[in-house]
Every structure is written in structure tokens, then in C-alpha cells.
């Protein structure tokens, strides 16, 4: 694989609540790995908008990206983006985020759901104490929120579809069959195809030797006519930049994909694989 032709469209920096990595360190790691394009997509978790300033960190990241492109732009292009979570809960705050900056890319994601007793971000939930019935209720809310987000929000990339499995299965080793949500997942894939939203292959944490979403979902997406794929390392530390991309590219080629995408000025661009 020629990493010079690969774009990492999902990374985080010290401007996210869960990272202390500088954008410069992330850039240097991408350069070391040969990646020529990456996007800084720091968290903008809208459910915190009434408690914290969610806007200034995104503006600071944008200014930092602009300065670093002057320094490293001949080696690696840094794209300015944002990852908006739960924006459909707070439309006015979401609208403000959209108008704040001229982003290259906007990622849409779901990090928490309004499932009674399980409202915290799922990365913080102890699923080992949750019954299978409650897990099904939680995932039911999760997939419904994904659909609502797709119906009401404007964004370019759908991030880490099925991400709660990273914790339910990957961290807590629980046995959960998501095939019962097949219709919901197919509806999500149908919506992103209709709206020309790219589907992210998130390579940050492999669950059961597969990516997020897994190979079977990627096959379904391809069979339905979906062709817009981005790679996202979701790196929160510099050494994870472009992690597991070679394996992801191999899977995508096996399925039949011919290219991956990146966004600049919110315009779609394709890269042959």
C-alpha cells in the first residue's frame, strides 16, 4: 500500500476533552508514516453545550491547523474538521457550530443515547452490570439516534457505526447479537447512500479481529451500491495515526471497493486504492 495516497479523516488533539496530543505531534507522526493528508476532527459534544464552552476549542484547533499548514504543508496537508455528537438534541447549538468556521469536513457521530439509566457517554458505562434486555434497549436507542441524526443533521462522514460494540464486546466481553437490528442498520446504510454521506471505516480498536463497522456491514453497504468510504484512525495519541490502515485497505479491496474518499472545503475527493 502506498500511504502517500491515503487520507486519515478522523483524528483528535489536545482540543478534545479526551486527548492531550498536540496537532503538531499528530502531524509529525503522519509524516513519519508517509500519510500525506489527515483531518483534525476534535470533539464537539453538543450535549455539553449548556455546561461548557464547546466552541473555543474548535476555533483554536482551526487556527492551529492553519499555522501548521504553513510549516508542514509541503509534507502533509492538514484538514480542518469537527466531530459533532448529538447535534440533533440541540439544533441551535449545532447551527452555531456549523457557522463557526469554514471546515474541510464535518463528522457526525453518536456517543451517548437517551436510554433511561444509561444516558452517560457509552465509553464511560460499565456494561458488565447491564442485563441483556437492557443492552438491547440501549442499542435500540443507539440505532434510532443514528437514524435521527441522518434525517436532521448536515455532515459529510458517518463515524464508527456500531461503536458501542467496542465496549460491550471489546472491553467487557459480552455476547450480543446485533443481527436483530439488521433492519435499522440497513436503513442507516440506505440513508447515507441517498444523502451522499461517506461511511467511515474506523480502525482505532479492532473488535473480534474486525473493524467498526465490521466486514459484513461493509459488504452490505457495497451490495446496496454504497461506494463512499473514508478511513479514520480516530487517533487520540500521535503513535496511533493511520493505525491498521493496511489491513483495512485489504478488506476493502476484497469486498470490491476501488477507492477511498477525503473531504476538502467539504467537497468530496477520491483516492484509488
φ/ψ of residue 267, rounded to 5: -110, 135
The predicted-structure confidence for 13-59, as pLDDT tens digits, reads as follows 999 999 999 999 999 999 999 999 999 999 999 988 888 899 999 99
Q: Assign 1 a pLDDT band (cuts: 50, 70, 90).
A: very low
Q: Assign 260 a pLDDT band (cuts: 50, 70, 90).
A: very high
Number of CB atoms found within 10 A of residue 132's CB: 11
Contact 49, 90 (CB under 8 A): yes
Q: Cell 479523516, residue?
A: 9
The predicted-structure confidence for 50-63, as pLDDT tens digits, reads as follows 888 999 999 999 99
The single-letter DSSP state of residue 39 is: E
Q: What is the pTM of this model?
A: 0.96
Contact 105, 157 (CB under 8 A): yes
Contact 256, 225 (CB under 8 A): no
Is pLDDT of 99 > 80? yes
CATH number listed for the domain at residues 3-272: 3.20.20.140
The predicted-structure confidence for 79-88, as pLDDT tens digits, reads as follows 999 999 999 9
How many Cα neighbours within 13 Å face the side chain of 133? Answer: 0
Q: Cell 439544533, residue?
A: 91
| DSSP per-residue string spanning 121-134 | -GGG--GGGS-HHH
Amino acid at each position: 500500500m502506498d500511504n502517500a495516497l491515503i487520507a486519515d479523516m478522523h483524528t483528535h488533539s489536545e482540543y478534545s476533552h479526551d486527548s492531550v496530543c498536540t496537532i503538531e505531534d499528530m502531524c509529525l507522526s503522519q509524516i513519519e508514516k508517509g500519510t500525506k493528508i489527515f483531518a483534525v476532527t476534535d470533539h464537539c459534544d453538543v450535549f455539553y453545550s449548556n455546561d461548557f464552552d464547546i466552541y473555543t476549542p474548535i476555533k483554536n484547533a482551526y487556527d492551529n491547523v492553519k499555522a501548521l499548514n504553513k510549516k508542514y504543508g509541503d509534507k502533509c496537508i492538514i484538514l480542518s474538521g469537527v466531530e459533532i455528537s448529538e447535534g440533533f438534541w440541540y439544533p441551535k447549538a449545532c447551527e452555531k457550530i456549523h457557522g463557526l468556521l469554514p471546515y474541510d469536513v464535518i463528522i457526525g457521530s453518536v456517543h451517548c443515547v437517551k436510554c433511561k439509566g444509561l444516558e452517560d457517554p457509552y465509553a464511560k458505562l460499565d456494561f458488565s452490570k447491564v442485563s441483556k434486555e437492557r443492552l438491547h434497549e440501549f442499542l435500540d436507542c443507539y440505532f434510532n439516534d443514528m437514524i435521527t441524526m441522518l434525517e436532521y443533521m448536515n455532515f459529510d462522514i458517518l463515524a464508527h457505526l456500531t461503536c458501542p460494540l467496542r465496549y460491550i464486546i471489546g472491553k467487557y466481553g459480552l455476547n450480543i447479537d446485533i443481527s436483530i437490528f439488521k433492519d435499522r442498520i440497513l436503513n442507516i446504510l440506505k440513508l447515507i447512500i441517498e444523502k451522499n454521506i461517506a461511511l467511515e471505516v474506523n480502525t482505532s480498536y479492532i473488535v473480534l479481529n474486525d473493524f467498526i463497522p465490521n466486514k459484513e456491514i461493509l459488504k452490505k453497504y457495497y451490495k446496496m451500491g454504497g461506494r463512499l468510504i473514508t478511513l479514520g484512525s480516530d487517533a487520540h495519541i500521535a503513535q496511533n495515526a493511520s493505525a491498521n490502515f493496511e489491513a483495512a485497505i485489504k478488506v476493502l479491496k476484497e469486498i470490491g471497493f476501488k477507492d477511498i474518499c477525503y473531504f476538502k472545503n467539504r467537497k468530496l475527493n477520491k483516492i484509488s486504492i
